[in-house]
């Protein structure tokens, strides 16, 4: 079942006309800020990306023999040139994956989800992966983060990345300040082709933006072209990442061909909702995020306190049914733990008043704890293999 | 004799009122552009620097026991905190020197002059020196320079730098793209403290400036603070450089104390005039510049064709005298080869019509050739010792 996840949020209904109800879509998405209730269809128009259509899903099925639930359920809902990447694959040309993380805090399930999908892509397409940690960006972004804090989070985040289970022979983690000598030459080539006008329009820079942030985007663009340098030939790249990072790839795509590279293709995810009333899961609202290092009792407590789409009382819930599509607990379960069949049944039972919030919360708490017990073990083991994953500018093992 | 070098340029006289003759001072000085006839006194006001006064010269004499001709003749004419640096020296606190070069072409005598003075300072104050080559800036600055060309000039320029005769145990050459891992962490700390507003005002950036150039200044600022990192304590730095680089040090000084460092002090040189009618010696006007790799016959040819302050005919010259202060040949000889006494005599003889241009050109050609024969030998020998001079992030030999 295809669900448009935010249409029923906050008690609004499908009957309302989008165009006459702007306040309903009062949202903001930039690489540094995600605010409000996001209308993902509007975002596709606004950013100029392509929706993942039923035809695209058929095409994926034709190429890979299956469709990953995160695509089927439209957690990955938008793309650029995904069809082109599939063509390249069918023509026998292998492509790199590239994704990243800004290490400004600990990792939560909202971060892990697209990484799990990236791991799936790596296995399915036998792809090499570059994973960038933008410690420089997180240092430049605000005046109050110390380099020591960012170094700490960088190390801790690397444990999470490795814990996802990427192929050690085909994955290299780049830390910007550590690996700047490999990024800088490409970044300057990109930077000289982007004017302040363009950067201002795409990223929303203003007179009060610091020049480090203005100069930063090419550092995030650089790994799009590193594969071509490593492989010594133009090499396709697919970027699985949340839609808020799209501005980076837009400017990168604009300069790619002039530099003799392919435009990077992308597949965009939605944000995993936080456990609060509105907004994505965020490290800056720790009570509404399930961190990978959270102890079971913390997970249980956070899930118990979660906002849901349920009615005020059990009686009302039985009588009126719940608003599953506006319920973060529902979406957590749907994206992460339920099968599609389970999730569709959960939706019907909730809407008809045959399911109480406590049951869903119980399922989410239990499943999260099971998931995180295993994840934490891999996370601990990761400490011993970090060196193997770190980028050193040298080609991958062939 | 103190001479105000540009007052008599282009046939204007001292009688004219500056304020009523703006066209006379139609000049532009930025780190990337030096145009027109420069009024150095106005530049001091415009940039907010301090003139090198007679009192300052007395102070220098008191500290060092002598006054270098380039200061006495006001080739170095302006400063920031030079008195503070002298205080530090007297208090027994040693300071670093830092200067640089943008490797966009071959080196000419206009470049070598401040480097010779820097070498003198190194000897006199027993200072360690950082010498930065901004290959990244020169790549970012225009679309038409290839990285290969810049690499070529970088290598060739390093030979010239070493040929100047800096102390190999106390001099480290930084090449930005080569040594970016040592510059980048400091550069991001600087960059986050400079807004686009400030950078726009100081450097003249506009909407059409590329974001690489906007992000670049902190890379040139970084070596101001490297000495404090190398020495593991706040360490004073004196920058001898042409006045056009002052905007960099202005923004650096603004952020220095907030970062826990001393403000870098500076001593600013004028530009060595080109051999043409107007403007500084420039690689972009090769016929008017004496390059260190020029053969003797080329030097002779360039000097023979030089613009001078002489009259149209020998008879007129004898009758009216020449305009020595508007004559690049005079200034070359004064700054580089004449003693002050010789130069003052040359001035008097020229103005009184007792000296013909051919004689001055003959002197300049001969002296340049003698200088460059020796320089070229040292330049060739430099090829074998490059490695010893290159920065590697490690502390200097103590």
End-to-end, the C-alpha distance of chain A in Å comes to 41
Q: Is the pLDDT of residue A155 over 70?
A: yes
Nearest to A311 by CA among A11, A69, A62: A11
Tokens of A267: 């597949």
- Please answer yes or no on whether A200 and B193 come within 8 Å at the CB atom: no
Check residue B196 and give its pLDDT. Answer: 97
Q: Which residues of B128-158 are buried (b: 16+ CB within 10 A; e: fewer)?
A: bbbbbbbbbbbbbbeeebeeeebbebbebbb
SS3 at position B50: strand
- For A301-351, the pLDDT digits (tens) are 999 999 999 999 999 999 999 999 889 899 999 999 999 999 999 999 999
Mean residue pLDDT across chain A: 90
pLDDT score of B176: 98
pLDDT over 60 at A150, yes or no: yes
Residue B12 confidence class, pLDDT cut points 50, 70, 90: very low
- Over A51-62, what HEC string results? ECCHHHHHHHHH
Instruction: Return the pLDDT at A169.
Output: 96
Rounded to an integer, the average pLDDT of B350-365 is 96
A298 touches B: beta carbon within 8 Å: no
Q: Which residues of B337-360 are buried (b: 16+ CB within 10 A; e: fewer)?
A: bbeeeebeebbebbbebebbbeeb
A14 part of contact set with chain B, CB < 8 Å:
no
H/E element holding B130? Answer: strand B129-133
Tokens of A302: 């956070």
Report pLDDT digits (tens) over B204-262.
999 999 999 999 999 999 999 999 999 999 999 999 999 999 999 999 999 999 999 99
- Phi and psi at residue A128, in whole multiples of 5°? -80, 150
**Which residues partner with A380 through β-bridges?**
none
ipTM score of complex: 0.89
Q: Give tens-digit pLDDT for A63-119.
A: 999 999 999 989 999 999 999 999 999 999 999 999 999 999 999 998 999 999 999
Cα angle at B78 between B76 and B79, to 5 degrees? 110
Q: Summarize the confidence of residues A205-226 as an average pLDDT.
A: 97
pLDDT band at A268; cut points 50, 70, 90: very high
Predicted confidence at residue A24, as pLDDT, reads: 45
Q: How far apart are CA B215 and CA B210, in angstroms?
A: 9
Q: Is the predicted pLDDT of residue A203 greater than 80, yes or no?
A: yes
Hey, of A134, A138, A188, which one would you mutate to test binding to chain B, going by the most B CBs within 10 A of its CB?
Answer: A188
Quick check: helix, strand or coil at residue A202? helix
| Cβ-contact B95, B85 below 8 angstroms | yes
Among B150, B179, B208, B215, which would you mutate to test the A interface (most chain A Cβ atoms within 10 Å of its Cβ)? Answer: B215
| A68 touching chain B per CB within 8 A | no
Residues A316/A139, Cβ–Cβ less than 8 Å = no
SS3 of B297-358: HHHHHHHHCCCCCCCCCHHHHHHHCCCHHHCHHHHHHHHHHCCHHHHHHHHHHHHCCCCCHH
**Where would I find the beta strands (DSSP E) of chain A?**
28-30, 33-35, 50-51, 76-80, 96-101, 129-133, 171-175, 237-242, 265-269
Rounded CA separation A59/A8 (Å): 30
Q: Could you read off the pLDDT of B179-200 as tens digits, one per residue? A: 999 999 999 999 999 999 999 9
Note whether A102 and A138 are within 8 A (CB): yes
pLDDT for the residue A359: 96
Please indicate whether residue B282 or residue A261 has the higher confidence score (pLDDT). A261
> pLDDT over 70 for what percent of chain A?
90
Report how far residue A246's alpha carbon sits from residue A48's, in angstroms, rounded to the nearest whole number.
Answer: 10
Q: What percent of chain B has pLDDT over 70?
A: 91
Q: What does the pLDDT read at residue B288? A: 82
**Mean pLDDT to the nearest integer, B293-310:** 93
% of chain B beyond a pLDDT of 90? 80
pLDDT at B340 exceeding the cut of 60: yes
Q: Which residues from chain B sit within 8 angstroms of residue A214, using beta carbons?
A: 196, 211, 214-215
Task: Say yes or no for a CB contact (<8 Å) between B210 and A188.
Answer: no
Q: Which residues of B touch A194 (CB under 8 A)?
A: 210-212
Among candidates B346, B317, B322, B320, which has minimal Cα distance to B334?
B346
């Amino acid at each position: 079942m295809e669900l448009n996840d935010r249409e029923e949020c906050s008690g609004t209904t499908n009957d309302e006309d989008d165009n006459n109800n702007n306040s309903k879509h009062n949202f903001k998405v930039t690489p540094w800020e995600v605010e409000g209730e996001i209308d993902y269809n509007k975002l596709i128009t606004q950013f100029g990306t392509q929706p993942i259509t039923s035809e695209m899903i058929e095409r994926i099925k034709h190429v890979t023999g299956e469709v990953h639930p995160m695509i089927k359920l439209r957690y990955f809902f938008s793309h650029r040139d995904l069809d082109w990447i599939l063509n390249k694959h069918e023509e026998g040309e292998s492509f790199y994956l590239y994704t990243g993380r800004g290490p400004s805090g600990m990792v939560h399930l909202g971060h892990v989800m697209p990484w799990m999908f990236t791991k799936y892509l790596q296995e399915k397409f036998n792809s090499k992966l570059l994973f960038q940690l933008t410690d420089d960006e997180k240092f430049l972004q605000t005046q109050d983060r110390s380099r020591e804090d960012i170094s700490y989070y960088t190390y801790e985040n690397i444990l999470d990345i490795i814990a996802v289970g990427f192929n050690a022979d085909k994955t290299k983690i780049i830390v910007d300040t550590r690996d700047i000598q490999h990024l800088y030459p490409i970044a300057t080539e990109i930077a000289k082709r982007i004017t302040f006008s363009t950067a201002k329009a795409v990223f929303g820079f203003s007179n009060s933006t610091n020049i480090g942030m203005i100069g930063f985007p090419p550092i995030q663009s650089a790994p799009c072209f590193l594969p071509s340098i490593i492989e010594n030939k133009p090499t396709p790249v697919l970027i699985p990442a949340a839609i808020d990072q799209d501005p980076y790839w837009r400017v990168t795509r604009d300069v790619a061909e002039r530099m003799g590279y392919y435009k990077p293709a992308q597949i965009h995810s939605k944000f995993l909702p936080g456990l609060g009333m509105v907004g994505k899961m965020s490290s800056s609202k720790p009570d509404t995020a399930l961190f990978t290092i959270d102890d079971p009792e913390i997970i249980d407590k956070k899930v118990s306190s979660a906002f849901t789409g349920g009615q005020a009382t059990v009686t009302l819930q039985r009588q009126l049914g719940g608003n599953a599509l506006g319920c973060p607990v529902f979406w957590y379960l749907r994206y992460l733990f339920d099968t599609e069949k389970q999730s569709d049944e959960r939706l019907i039972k909730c809407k008809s008043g045959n399911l109480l919030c406590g049951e869903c919360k119980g399922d989410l708490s239990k499943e999260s704890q099971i998931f995180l017990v295993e994840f934490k073990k891999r996370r601990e083991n990761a400490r011993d293999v970090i060196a193997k994953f770190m980028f050193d500018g040298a080609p991958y093992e062939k």
